[in-house]
Chains A and B, each alone.
Chain A
Amino acid sequence: MNIQIIGMDFVCSVKAWFRSKGGMFWSLAFPVILILLFGAIFSGVGSTKYTLYVQDKDTTTMSQQFISILLKTGVLDIKNLSADVNITAYIKENNIKSAIVLPKGMSDQINRSFIDPTAKVNLSFYFDPSDQTQTQVIRTIIASVIEQLNKELTSRRDVIGLTDISTITENFNFIDFFLPGMIGFTIMQGAIYGSIERNTKYRKDGILRKLLTTPITRTEWILAKMLFMMFLAAITTILITVIGVLVFGMTVNINLLVIITLIATSFLFSGMGMLIGRFVKEEETADTAAGAISFPMMFLAGTFFPLEQMPGFLQTIAHILPLYYVNEALRNAMIYMNQSDALLNAVVVIAFAVVFFLAGVILTKWKED
């Protein structure tokens, strides 16, 4: 193994890449544009209705009246939850920003307040502190409704109170979901297409035949190219993360697990590209084949939209797609801070990487038949 040759090849790859406007665009500008675009579209700016989940455990005319008053404000989109739902679990599962619970015995307490000055009822307001603007608006609306009611019922005495319950759950924005997916997707594209170019165009152009007659070994060459893939992966990750932090104020965590996952991802999809190039020998056809594989995978693996929004059988398919595990590993490690889940998914990614990369290296060759 000649480290100098590997380093020299790497430097030349970087040089050539900087000179390729197309390459730069697809590996840097494209993901940036997508992030900015999707971030703007889905961040909910300009929405005039606020969704509030209401669980009525009292189910009396009085509690119904309370809900209709909330509805009459015209800015709340009320969603009713049945009384037997476990509210904290439901909020967690469905990433709900704000919910209010009208407790059992609410109307009893209000009726008693006319004779018993100590009678009091507390409504619980569950809110996501990470989305301050929205929850703040909703809370203000609820508070003003309660104040009005208190005034009408008991002249100033606070019969109805409001307890705030902060729900620090996995309650993230779309951009939090989207950013790790975009990193994984961009690295996948770079690795697949780069690998295909080396295995089809370079073969057609005689570069592989030429290299075969020089002292460089295939191992050195592949290592040099993988080094270049790591470089691309690093640039992609840094750029996308910086945009997430600066433009969308995200908290992104980059730890060893993230780096390992990114390296494994590069190997995984480089191997996949080698296999595509091995069986589809024309460069243009191979690129089309790569698109036919990577694009459906991008959607099915939950890169842009959560899997939960998809029908059951598609969710099953997602679990055999390598990109799904890349997405899950990156999301858990970078955003959700759930390192044990991240590790589990990273292990699957590494396993996929070993299989695909080894298959790619073994099944492709420089020699002609």
Chain B
Amino acid sequence: MIEQRFKCPQCGNIASFYGNPGEQMTVICTSCGLKGRLTMPMLSQGNGYAIEVSHLKKVYGDLIAVNDISFAVKTGEVFAFLGPNGAGKTTTVEMIESIRQPTAGSITLLGKDIKNGFNDVKERIGILPQEFHSFERLTVKETLVYFSKLYKKRANVDDIIDALDLTAQQNMLYKNLSGGLKQRVGVAISLVNDPEVIFLDEPTTGLDPEARREVWGVIASLRKKGKTVFLTTHYMEEAEFLADHIAVIFKGKIIAEGSLEDLIRQYGKSSVLHIKNCKNSTEVVSMLQQEGFEDVTTEGNGDIAIKIEHKDRVLEILSHLRHECIEYDSIDIRRSNLEEVFLRLTGSKLTEEAA
């Protein structure tokens, strides 16, 4: 949702209207009642992309940290950059934030080439650096006021405190906050200038599950407000839970990209039926393959995984098992997740890579 101030051509009254970028709407002057059509402006010079990265490369000596990657982040979406530690996530995000100098490639942020236009977009972006710790001996409120005063465009600090549920802690010194609260303050700091694009670099790393959920809630609410969020993470669940669009980065390369559904459809098994501890598993596998189940794998210990294209086929499998008097311990059906996608793409588990 964005705000557009509009001057009535009849009475000269100025009023604010709210709508989505590019939306056409009929408005009525609050003063004289004149009706008119209004088109809300597009963000990012109208092409719908807040961030465009093209052939980006970063080389440190012999190490290619980021290897010729290209992607675009749509205005208003939560874009998750998912990958294990050392994959090049932070290097990439810090190049977009102009903290690091790319070896090659171009970056357009809110329509500006950041090579010489980064200062122009500073007022319109908010970032939370990786492992950020703010000034220890300022209170939460003082910290937010401090950072907000660096900008010309300022959001109301009390509103941010309210929105991030920091009211009870607003007069506590930063150093006395718990890890989860510190991260929440970090996100709050990134909002003090009411930015259009927010960069959150591993905002939940090191947090306990409850604190992580709290931060997720905040990010989800940003999305509702129409903010573009660029999120880096090595947590599958985080990307699954929050992201509209996911780019999987591995060893400096983007190896897969799309919505969660896209990725699962393309690289995962849409649904998988698991048979636990099946007797005569090899025979069962060949039998199922004869019946036309293409993707059947044994996972050792007599466990079998069968990709299910259509839910009717579940009944087919069950009736076969019954007909042949096959013994097994249990059956469950699971939806494929990012973990599997990642496993399939890289041959390694993300969580192991991350640890």
Q: Which residues of A contact B (CB under 8 A)?
A: 4-5, 8-9, 12, 15-17, 19-20, 204-207, 209-216, 366-369
A5 near B149 with CB under 8 A, answer: yes
Q: How far is the CA of A20 from the CA of B99 in the complex (A)?
A: 31
- A210 and B189 contact, CB distance less than 8 A: yes
B138 contacts the other chain (CB 8 A): yes
Whether the Cβ atoms of A16 and B135 lie closer than 8 Å is: yes
Which residues on the B side are within 8 Å of A205 (C-beta)? 131-134
Could you say which of B123, B125, B146, B193 contacts A12, with CB atoms under 8 Å apart?
A: B146
Judging by beta carbons under 8 Å apart, are A215 and B150 in contact?
yes
Q: Please, which residue of chain A has its CB at the minimum distance from the CB of B173?
A: A19
Contact B125 A213 (CB under 8 A): yes
A16–B133 alpha-carbon span in the complex (Å):
15
Asked whether B127 lies within 8 Å of A16 as measured between CB atoms, the reply is no
Distance in angstroms between the alpha carbons of A46 and B186 in the assembled complex: 61
B258 within 8 A of A: no
Q: How large is the interface on B (under 10, 10 to 19, 20 to 34, 35 or more residues)?
A: 20 to 34
When the two chains form their complex, are residues B146 and A215 in contact, meaning their CB atoms are under 8 A apart? no
> B151 contacts which chain A residues (CB < 8 A)?
214-215
Pick the most buried of A205, A213, A368: most chain B CB atoms within 10 A of its CB: A213
Q: Which residues of A contact B173 (CB under 8 A)?
A: 19
**B60 x A369 contact (CB < 8 A):** yes
- Report if B115 contacts A (CB, 8 A): no
Q: Is the CB of B149 within 8 A of A210?
A: no
The closest CB in chain B to the CB of A201 belongs to B133
- The verdict on A4 contacting B99 (CB below 8 Å), with A16-B137, A206-B131 known, is no
Q: Which residues of A contact B323 (CB under 8 A)?
A: none
- Closest CB of chain A to B197's CB: distance in Å? 11
Contact across chains for A12 and B142 when beta carbons are under 8 A apart: yes
Asked whether A213 and B136 contact (CB < 8 A) given A4-B149, A5-B150, A206-B130, the answer is no
- Contacts of B94 on A, CB cut-off 8 Å? 209, 368
- CB <8 Å contact, A16 and B138: yes
Complex contact A368–B100 (CB within 8 A): yes
The smallest beta-carbon distance between B101 and chain A, in angstroms, is 7
Contact indicator A214/B147 (Cβ below 8 Å): yes
Residues of A within 8 A of B196 (CB): none
- Please provide the 7 A-B residue pairs with the shortest distance between their CB atoms, ordered closest to farther: A206-B129, A205-B133, A16-B137, A206-B132, A19-B137, A209-B129, A214-B150
CB distance from B259 to the nearest CB of A (A): 28
Evaluate whether A8 and B146 lie within 8 angstroms (CB atoms) in the complex, with A206-B130, A206-B132 already known: yes
Residues of B within 8 A of A369 (CB): 60, 100-101
Q: Could you give 30 example pairs across A and B, Cβ below 8 Å?
A: A4-B149, A5-B150, A9-B146, A12-B142, A15-B137, A15-B138, A15-B142, A16-B137, A16-B138, A19-B137, A205-B131, A205-B133, A209-B94, A209-B97, A209-B127, A209-B129, A210-B132, A210-B147, A210-B189, A212-B98, A213-B98, A213-B99, A213-B122, A214-B147, A214-B193, A366-B99, A367-B99, A367-B100, A367-B101, A368-B100
Known: A210-B189, A211-B150, A369-B60. 15 other contacts (CB 8 A): A5-B150, A12-B138, A15-B138, A16-B137, A205-B132, A206-B129, A206-B130, A207-B134, A209-B129, A210-B129, A212-B97, A212-B98, A213-B98, A367-B101, A369-B101
Q: Considering the chains assembled together, what is the distance between the CA atoms of A12 and B137 in angstroms?
A: 9
Tell me the minimal C-beta distance from B190 to chain A in angstroms: 9
Asked if B152 is at the interface (CB within 8 A of a chain A CB), the reply is yes
Complex Cα gap A157–B125 (Å): 100
Identify A213's interface contact among B97, B101, B133, B135, CB under 8 A: B97
Contact across chains for B100 and A206 when beta carbons are under 8 A apart: no
A134 to B301, CA, bound (A): 99
Chain A residues whose C-beta falls within 8 Å of the C-beta of B136 in the assembled complex:
16
- Tell me, rounded to whole Å, the shortest Cβ–Cβ distance linking A210 to chain B: 5
Instruction: Enumerate chain A residues within 8 angstroms of B97, measured Cβ to Cβ.
Output: 209, 212-213
Complex CA distance for A145 and B133, rounded to whole angstroms:
76
Inter-chain contact A209/B99, CB cutoff 8 Å: yes
